[in-house]
């Protein structure tokens, strides 16, 4: 039972060489071997940052005095905030709900006067805390800023240990900073991306690989019948998955649901369709099931990492955000969190819906171009 008895080195070399030759022929696998590590290095090394900076912030300036302006300037200089403009209260709330800004800082009327009089005014900071990880660093910086700024500008005072105003932070949508509020709705998108792209990709290539596609095409069934007939079951599967996750979100994780459930399902359906389109396109390009699976993985990895699911979207550098914005998952996450945690209505969704539609359109065009209607 000695596995090495009669071990032939030249035979062994033969097997080795054959493996390399086959590997070289399979371009996609070869691409995976090289591409995945590079992709991971780029994503983990450069794109991901758990201490996000340059967070978009709106200012509600009810008292535009020198102290307030100095404080805003200090916020800008701190790198943590990107001041997007001065707005009124109603606009500020709208920006927060639409996920356009991460923070709204409100300087109340009489802010400067109260400061001078030594009567600590209230500085209200509202944070979009749906993703607790995204706001932590910035909030802790706000206190220090208050001490530093006013130490310089009010030299008459001794260097205080606390800012001369009361910093009131409202962590909106997720006041207790519960991670599950953010992760569970996000999982909805991740699960759908994985199963929808993979299942449709495999469903079509399986027929081709086994030769049954030829039989199907030889019947009077039209391509539209074949395509839609093969896809609809997966739409149903997707909806079942969503229902399971939502039930778990409600009863196991106690994630609130402020928005309209029907609206949520509408958005889910759009997202499912976008992923199915991609799956079909993969299946028309892939020659076998393995390739379809590899393509899915190539798409899934950046979807997980660049969409804002695992790491705060705004913590990523510009280029990564551009890539992330192409992915449907990025927009779907904003939509789901918006509907579930912020109670967003129909009128607030368009900003995230059109990128998904665009993605779908482009992928569909690509798919139709490569879809082999007959066997050639």
Partner 1 sequence: MDNAPLVIDVAGINKRFGDKHVVKDLALQVREGEIFGFLGPNGSGKTTSIRMLCGLLTPDSGRGTCLGLDVLTESAAIKRQVGYMTQRFSLWDDLTIAENLDFVARMFGMKDRSTVVDKALDDLGLSGRRKQLAGTLSGGWKQRLSLAACLLHHPKLLLLDEPTAGVDPKARRDFWEEIHHLSAAGITVLVSTHYMDEAERCHRLAYIAYGTLMASGTAVEVVTGQHLHTWEITGTGLQGMGEALRALPGVDLVASFGATLHVSGKDRDALEATLKSRLRDTPLKMTAVPPSLEDAFIYLMQGSQDQFQG
Contact positions toward partner 1, by CB under 8 A? 210-212, 214-222, 374-376
Which of residues 5 and 374 has its CB atom nearest to partner 1 in the complex? 374
Which of residues 318 and 376 has its CB atom nearest to partner 1 in the complex? 376
CB of 195 to partner 1, least distance (A): 20
CB of 339 to partner 1, least distance (A): 39
Closest residue by Cα to residue 303 from 283, 290, 289, 320: 320
* Residue 312, SS3 per DSSP: coil
Which of residues 70 and 217 has its CB atom nearest to partner 1 in the complex? 217
CB of 372 to partner 1, least distance (A): 11
CB of 207 to partner 1, least distance (A): 9
CB of 37 to partner 1, least distance (A): 34
Which of residues 105 and 204 has its CB atom nearest to partner 1 in the complex? 204
Which of residues 38 and 375 has its CB atom nearest to partner 1 in the complex? 375
Contact 175, 129 (CB under 8 A): yes
* Residue 105, SS3 per DSSP: strand
Phi, psi of 238 (to 5 degrees): -60, -45
Which of residues 90 and 369 has its CB atom nearest to partner 1 in the complex? 369
What number of CA atoms fall less than 13 Å from residue 258's CA on the CB side?
Answer: 17
CA distances from 298 to 273, 281, 283, 321, 335 (A): 19, 14, 14, 18, 24
Residue with tokens 């300037």: 73
- For the chain, where are the alpha helices, taking DSSP H only? 9-25, 27-42, 66-77, 89-97, 111-116, 132-153, 179-210, 212-218, 223-251, 261-285, 289-306, 318-326, 328-342, 350-370
Residue with tokens 């062994």: 12
CB of 286 to partner 1, least distance (A): 19
Which of residues 176 and 376 has its CB atom nearest to partner 1 in the complex? 376
Q: Residue 114 and residue 109: Cα distance in Å, rounded?
A: 9
Q: Which two tokens stand for residue 370?
A: 């490569």
CB of 285 to partner 1, least distance (A): 17
For 313, the enclosing helix (H) or strand (E) is: none
Which of residues 88 and 212 has its CB atom nearest to partner 1 in the complex? 212
CB of 347 to partner 1, least distance (A): 45
Q: Residues 144, 148, 152, CA angle at the centre, nearest 5°?
A: 170
């Amino acid at each position: 039972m000695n596995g090495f008895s009669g071990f032939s080195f030249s035979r062994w070399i033969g097997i080795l060489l054959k493996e390399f030759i086959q590997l070289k022929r399979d371009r996609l696998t070869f691409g995976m071997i090289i591409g995945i590590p590079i992709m991971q290095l780029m994503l983990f090394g450069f794109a991901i940052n758990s201490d996000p900076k340059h967070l978009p912030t709106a200012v509600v300036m009810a008292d535009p005095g020198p102290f307030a302006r100095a404080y805003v300037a200090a916020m800008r200089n701190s790198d943590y905030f990107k001041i997007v403009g001065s707005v009124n209260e109603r606009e500020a709330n709208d920006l927060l709900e639409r996920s356009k800004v991460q923070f709204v800082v409100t300087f109340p009327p009489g802010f400067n006067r109260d400061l001078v009089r030594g009567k600590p005014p209230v500085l209200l900071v509202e944070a979009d805390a749906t993703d607790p990880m995204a706001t932590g660093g910035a909030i802790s910086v706000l206190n220090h800023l208050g001490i530093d700024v006013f130490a310089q500008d009010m030299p008459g005072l001794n260097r205080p240990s606390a800012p001369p105003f009361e910093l009131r932070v409202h962590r909106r949508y997720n006041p207790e900073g519960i991670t599950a509020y953010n992760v569970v709705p996000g999982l909805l998108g991740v699960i759908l991306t994985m199963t929808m792209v993979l299942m449709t990709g495999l469903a079509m290539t399986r027929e081709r690989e086994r030769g049954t596609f030829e039989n199907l095409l030889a019947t009077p069934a039209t391509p539209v019948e074949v395509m839609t007939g093969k896809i609809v079951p997966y739409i149903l599967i997707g909806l079942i998955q969503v229902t399971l996750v939502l039930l778990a979100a409600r009863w196991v994780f106690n994630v609130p649901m402020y928005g309209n459930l029907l609206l949520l399902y509408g958005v889910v359906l759009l997202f499912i369709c976008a992923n199915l389109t991609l799956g079909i396109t993969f299946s028309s390009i892939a020659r076998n099931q393995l390739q379809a699976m590899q393509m899915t993985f190539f798409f899934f990895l950046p979807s997980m990492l660049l969409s804002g699911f695992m790491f705060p979207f705004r913590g990523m550098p510009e280029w990564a955000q551009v890539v992330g914005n192409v992915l449907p998952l990025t927009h779907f996450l904003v939509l789901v969190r918006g509907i579930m945690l912020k109670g967003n209505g129909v009128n607030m969704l368009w900003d995230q819906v059109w990128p998904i539609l665009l993605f779908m359109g482009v992928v569909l065009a690509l798919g139709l171009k490569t879809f082999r209607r007959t066997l050639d």
